Amino acid sequence: MDPFTVIAMLAIHLLGTAGLLFLVWRLMPAAPGLAAWWVASGLFGLAYLVRLVVGMEHGDGVGVAADSLMLLAVLRFGDGVREFTGRAAWKPAATFIAWALAVSLEAAATVAFGAQGRYTVLNLAIGGLYAHLAWTIAVEVGRQPRPLRAPLRLLALLMGGLSALTLVRAHSLFADGMAVAFHGPLAKVYYMYASTNAVVVGLTLLWLLFLRLNGQLADLAARDPLTGVLNRQGLDERVRRHFERPNAAPLTVMLLDIDHFKQVNDTHGHATGDAVLMAVARTLVSHLRTGDFVARVGGEEFLIGCAEGAHPDDAMVLARRLNEAVGQLQVAAPGNAVPVVCTVSVGVSGRVASRADWEAGTRQADRALYQAKADGRNAVRPAVVSHAA
């Protein structure tokens, strides 16, 4: 297959991928990385079209301008990867400096050595950027949720392969001149790989987006929409996952109830009541330790799973800390200059060593909570564990 046809196919693949990603972006404008990805694919496809129009081996200003689009495309693709994975994005000034430096070096090489200098510098720059992308993605594999790891590994492999071929091509151009740019075995392998890579990368990005969206939907289904903590469904799943781990640590169940919450709603309105619930939930989450979790299990009732600590009374220490922290809250009430304060009653279970004991532990915490309320509320009470429990 002649070089013109292969590069035309590559341009079509890139523009087709850009169009597909653009359509998905229109439906999911907030999807992380998607806007950068469709722009990057479109810029790359446009650059190849310009090459086909002006002639692939010319080293004039139009060719350098087309190459600058390629460099910008790789930088934008990297921005999308960093946005998707949650890494800190490059500052616009840093991106511009990297782009301007590469374009300036290529322009200088074009003036000094013509098309050979232009393509050598371009391939060195793009190959280096691909290598950095492959490394960035590989580092992120272990930091991302398990379902995302397989497509990220594939993406890192694709970028790594493209980097290696591009750098080999740069060396070949430097050593052998423009004769190997579009003719010979290396040129055929390079452009066939790049054309196939454009299709596979586009599908891999859609795979990543689907998995991320699916995870977000699952997370939404597992969380209380008002407070953002686990709901009952999410709680069941969290407990199941905890006890399925090898050598799972025992848990302590805490049931926490906002005192006189109905009075808050009746006096200040449901909007203020919602604000109180959200403030209490934020306070609980901010004070939990690694391995602990919190769920809303009733109108004003929260359940906390407390991972076993180094000392037997860690759960009671945490319960008292939560009781004190909530008691210090001051929640603004619309139309009322005086903020709303609230207290909580907390019941703490005994040690729950397995999933089979979870319901028994919850009943223990419930009885302890009832005792805290009977003792005047704003109190923490441990369960009285008996063999009958």
Is 260 in the same domain as 327?
yes
Decide if 102 is inside a domain.
Answer: yes
Nearest-angstrom CA–CA distance, 263 and 245: 43
Which residue carries 């010979």 as its tokens? Answer: 184
Determine the structural domain holding residue 356 and report its residue range. 232-382
pLDDT of residue 51: 83
Asked if 116 and 236 sit in the same domain, the reply is: no
369 strand-pairing partners:
none
Residues with Cβ within 8 Å of residue 141, at least 6 apart in sequence: 149, 152, 153, 156
Please tell me whether residues 176 and 301 are part of one structural domain: no
Give the Cα separation of 9 and 18 in Å (integer). 14
Q: Is residue 389 part of a domain?
A: no
Q: Among 221, 253, 287, give the residue marking a domain's end.
A: 221
Number of domains in the chain: 2
For position 309, what pLDDT does the model report? Answer: 62
Helix H, strand E, coil C: the string for the chain is CCHHHHHHHHHHHHHHHHHHHHHHHHHCCCCCCHHHHHHHHHHHHHHHHHHHHHCCCCCCHHHHHHHHHHHHHHHHHHHHHHHHHCCCCCCHHHHHHHHHHHHHHHHHHHHHHCHHHHHHHHHHHHHHHHHHHHHHHHHHHCCCCHHHHHHHHHHHHHHHHHHHHHHHHHHHHHHHHHHHCCCCHHHHHHHHHHHHHHHHHHHHHHHHHHHHHHHHHHHHHCECCCCCCECHHHHHHHHHHHHHCCCCCCEEEEEEEECCHHHHHHHHCHHHHHHHHHHHHHHHHHHCCCCCEEEECCCCEEEEEEECCCCCCHHHHHHHHHHHHHHCCCEEECCEEEEECCCEEEEEEEEECCHHHHHHHHHHHHHHHHHHHHCCCCCEEECCCCCCC
Q: Are residues 28 and 140 in the same domain?
A: yes
226 lies in some domain: no
Q: Domain end: 221, 250, 265, which one?
A: 221
CB atoms inside a 10 Å sphere around CB 303: 22
- Alpha carbon distance, N-terminus to C-terminus of the chain: 79
Q: What stretches in the chain show pLDDT beneath 70?
A: 1, 56-60, 309-312, 385-389
How far apart, in whole angstroms, are the C-alpha atoms of residue 73 and residue 232? 45
Domain final residue, candidates 170, 188, 221:
221
Determine contact, residues 12/42, Cβ cutoff 8 Å. no
Q: pTM of the full predicted structure?
A: 0.69
One domain, residues 238 and 217: no
Report the C-alpha gap between 132 and 160 in whole angstroms: 9
**Domain contains 86:** yes
Closest CA to 319 of 331, 305, 330, 329: 305
Angle at 187 between CA 184 and CA 191, to 5 degrees: 145
How far apart are alpha carbons 382 and 389 in whole angstroms? 14
Place of tokens 């429990």: 389
Q: How many CB atoms lie within 10 A of CB 150?
A: 14
CATH number at residue 139: 1.20.1070
Q: Which amino acid is at 50?
A: V
- Same structural domain, 28 and 176: yes
Q: Are residues 191 and 283 in the same domain?
A: no
Shared domain check, 144 and 269: no
Asked whether residue 387 is domain-assigned, the answer is no
**And the tokens for 282?**
């934020």
The pLDDT score that the predictor gives to residue 389 is 42
**Same domain (yes/no): 176, 237:** no
Q: Are 204 and 77 in contact (CB under 8 A)?
A: no
Task: Return the closest-CA partner of residue 109 out of 94, 123, 129, 95.
Answer: 123
- Tokens for 332? 């603004």
In a domain, 298, yes or no: yes
Identify the CATH number of the domain in which residue 288 sits.
3.30.70.270
Separation of alpha carbons 315 and 345, rounded Å: 15
State whether 78 and 214 are in the same domain: yes
83 and 188 together in one domain: yes
Asked if 281 and 341 sit in the same domain, the reply is: yes
In a domain, 269, yes or no: yes
What residues contact residue 88 under an 8 Å CB cut-off, 6+ apart? 82
* Tally of CB atoms within 10 A around 232: 14
| pLDDT in the model for residue 92 | 87
